Amino acid sequence: MSTNQLLKPVTTEYKEHLIIGGCDMVELAQTYGTPLYVLDEKTIRSVCRDYKEAFSSYNNVKMMYASKALCNSAVAKIVDSEGFGFDTVSAGEIYTLYKSGIDMSKVLFNGNNKTPDEIELAIQYGVGRFSIDNFHEVELISKISKKHNRQIDALLRITPGIECHTHKYIQTGQLDSKFGFDLSQIDSIIEHILKVDKTIKIRGLHAHIGSQIFEPKCYYDEVEVLVKEISRIDNKFNIKLDEINIGGGLGVKYTDSDNPPAISEIADVILDSLHKNIEKYGIELPALYLEPGRSIISTAGVTLYTVGSSKQVPDMTKYTAVDGGMADNPRPSMYEAEYYAEVANKINETPKEKVTIAGKFCESGDILIKDIELPALEAGDILCVYNTGAYNYSMASNYNRAAKPAMVLVNNSQSDIIIYRETLEDLVSHDNIPDRLVR
């Protein structure tokens, strides 16, 4: 079974308590406090190797971890050691990789509104590829690259007109999208770039059709659109593009009802489409870039909470609250995302009641899990929510002036802090009281 098809980390064990990475989750909660993000190193490495194996028959594949899923220095070092490059979307992600000692030529800078400061930083640090998203960006890159006497290698991001069946907020490949060039605009942007004093070299095309994708055929269609466009561009402009970036988006298993395709399944579809359409449209074999993010990191992560109060609405819902919620995991509130959980200190007990897990924040919509069957919960129990590695910490906030949780990496019975818990002092460290308010 492919790692992205697992509901829990590959090292999950049931002993007296829930064990992940050889570490007792109850003991971790006691040692580091809760809420606590926990990442299993073996699961991260397992899914990276699943990707490399699945695409091993194609000689020129570039795996690029989509940093927006979870970006910190420890994750960067793990993914880098597995041979991945990085897709970034902000100065913060670029700086994190730079400070982590990553080879910046393996980094791509993506995004629909890169600021001049971000472009400056990326060029200074030697980012290997820019994914150009709009006409305005061409002017900024040209101006800043001239200042640094650099030629920029770039991909053109296009919207291929493919809608995958996922939440509308995480669809990105449909025609009506804030990202990329419509197919009808490609000739205009190429003509524009060719006039910009050779500061930008177009290397290929880039598309990303969405996230949490369960339909492999979407990738077949996407590859065909990209190959067809490369052939057409060559015929019209005599430009030999040699790179195709198909983005990422492969789904993961958040609940038992989810059935994402295996990494090998999408690899078969992508490579089949690539070979057939290369022959059909008469282009040379391009470098194939992929940008998995969620499917690399999500299954590796769990979040531990301490159970607090409960409320039984007569003849209706029983709410049980935990010491976190929408500030450390906004996805249920934003997307109606669903999760599965177990009680780490009662891992061998039979579920006895249906409860709704509520967060502690001052919003009625702060609900983590609706109607889940669990053993009878008591204050002090440790709840483990699975598959929280992606888009939980990276989307976390200080709502209600909450401090962001710590993150721990587990492997071979060892636990290490990789992000320290914010303190109350951290929360006020950037505050400033103007002199006129001081009496």
- What is the distance, to the nearest Å, from the Cα of residue 261 to the centroid of all Cα atoms in its chain? 18
Q: What is the DSSP letter of 138?
A: H
Transcribe 75-129 into DSSP letters.
HHHHHHHTT-EEEE-SHHHHHHHHHTT--GGGEEE--SS--HHHHHHHHHTT-SE
Here the tokens at position 352 are 């006895």
Q: Which helix (H) or strand (E) covers residue 24, if one does?
A: strand 23-24
Q: Which helix (H) or strand (E) covers residue 267, if one does?
A: helix 263-281
Q: What is the DSSP letter of 171?
A: B
Measured distance CA(81)–CA(326) in Å, rounded: 33
Pairing of strands 318-322, 341-343: unpaired
SS (H, E, C) 378-426: CCCCEEEEECCCCCCHHHCCCHHHCCCCEEEEEECCEEEEEECCCCHHH
Measured distance CA(282)–CA(230) in Å, rounded: 10
Residue 404 · residue 422 · CB < 8 Å = yes
Measured distance CA(331)–CA(392) in Å, rounded: 7
Q: Which helix (H) or strand (E) covers residue 156, if one does?
A: strand 152-159
Q: Which residues pair with 346 in a beta bridge?
A: none
Q: Which of 48, 71, 218, 362 is catalytic?
A: 362
37 SS3 class? strand
Q: Which phi and psi (to 5°) does residue 206 adopt?
A: -135, 135
Q: Which phi and psi (to 5°) does residue 197 adopt?
A: 50, 30
Based on the residue annotation, tell me whether 362 is a catalytic residue of this protein: yes
Amino acid of residue 118: E
Enzyme catalytic residues: 362
